[in-house]
Structure 1
């Protein structure tokens, strides 16, 4: 378990670095700061790394108990290359990524005027979208949060016996997708100020739509399929909205 935890945590660290040193300075540009930018970036990175560690440990501890897994990363932690596990996730991941890109493009095309104007003025660096969105967010939301929700439901409603029922898995997929959507609100609010309820709902639901896709992929195929889909979604959306 220790190697598995450490490898998954390590996979998410580049995303933490990208957010702390590439995105955060853009969000804080022109604002009065309580401390030097370097101190704020380091503090943000440490906090995010600790939260990532909690998510990585939660998944490493609980996922296998409820039939969730990251087969390629688990094999790598054991010193093996699981080509069969990788191949089984490629097609679902690509399909999920294309669907995710379509969702992101539609989200951008039909965004409310206030959000559309923000998207024209500000764009996250692609490397941050891929590393943080594609890898780190999947560890935080699917591997950590969704796994914990499934495990709690399984313990409460099945007494920890057998395989979790579809309902016990689907509810965490939906709830973690909504949480994934809500995670985007602070960034938008930092740039726009207080958000109207209608705009907040749009941001949450639009991002939750892909969260459902990623949650399903994690459940049925493995964490790597969700990661692959998330990476492809960002690459595809970037290509079509340039």
Structure 2
């Protein structure tokens, strides 16, 4: 393969911008993550810098592979990054940018209200408030962590995993335009939502109260459906915007009201 061919595989400008954004989001999450881990982090056999370096390296590899997968397979199945692509192609922003941006923010706000209402009116009857638990760290840590959640979840779950699953369904059946079918995309959205909830349950079962874990997994599953739809219909940037909006509303706005 010639060097020119390698350069044309994906838009490397978008690739490296997304990668740097994801890496910076990891750094932004550290203060919140350390605070929430409490004594558990100090009880581990390895030194804290070693643990953090290992987790950072693992996430970096996932980002490198995931972003490439999203760009490369996304072109085939019709999933895109319209805003970033327009910037690097010296084009104006997409004509629907303002409306899509507004919809993304609105959906993020609605999701946050839904989660807080369900947590407050329903689940707190059986266990402590999820909102109180998640918003224990200082405001500045919660604010930075919101960007980590919004960027990392969308890059890994939507851009990487969802795109890969949509590509599999596309290989099985295409629509008349040669893109993935609606049924295939919805199946992928549901699968990503389910996988995320199950993985969260498995990896958090020894660190958090079981009722809180199940609640977080359920809420993440619901939100994942909306973010998946936004990625499909609007583009990755809008699912990131919506996710960040929802997380800021929960961790910063509502969190400040209960502390």
**TM-score tier after normalising by the smaller chain length:** 0.7 to 0.9
Paired with 2:170 and 2:127, the residues of 1 have a C-alpha distance of 39
Change beyond 3 A, Cα 1:22–1:107:
farther
How far the C-alpha of 1:80 sits from its partner, in A, is 5.2
Deviations for 1:141-176, whole angstroms, at most 9, x for unmatched residues? 011110000011010233997121110110011111
Q: Identify the range of structure 1 (45-54 vs 232-241) with the bigger mean alpha-carbon deviation.
A: 232-241
Change beyond 3 A, Cα 1:237–1:130:
same
Change beyond 3 A, Cα 1:16–1:186:
farther
Q: Would the aligned equivalents of 2:154 and 2:240 in 1 still touch at CA under 8 Å?
A: yes
1:14 matched to 2:19? The reply is: no
- Higher CA-based Rg: 2
Q: Identify the range of structure 1 (150-159 vs 222-231) with the bigger mean alpha-carbon deviation.
A: 150-159
Count of equivalent residues: 238
How far the C-alpha of 1:207 sits from its partner, in A, is 1.3
Gaps of 5+ in 1: none
Query: Which residue is 1:97 aligned to?
Result: 108
TM-score, L = length of structure 1: 0.85
RMSD: 2.7
Query: Which residue is 1:146 aligned to?
Result: 162
State the SS of the aligned residue for 2:173: helix
Mapping of 1:1-242 within 5 angstroms? 1=10, 2-19=12-29, 21-31=30-40, 32-78=43-89, 82=93, 84=95, 86-109=97-120, 110-111=122-123, 116=128, 119-123=131-135, 125-158=141-174, 162-185=178-201, 188-192=204-208, 195=210, 201-238=214-251, 239-242=253-256
Deviations for 1:54-90, whole angstroms, at most 9, x for unmatched residues? 1111101111211111111223344556253632421
Change beyond 3 A, Cα 1:111–1:183:
farther
TM-score, L = length of structure 2: 0.80
Paired with 1:177 and 1:42, the residues of 2 have a C-alpha distance of 28
Q: Identify the range of structure 1 (34-43 vs 216-225) with the bigger mean alpha-carbon deviation.
A: 34-43
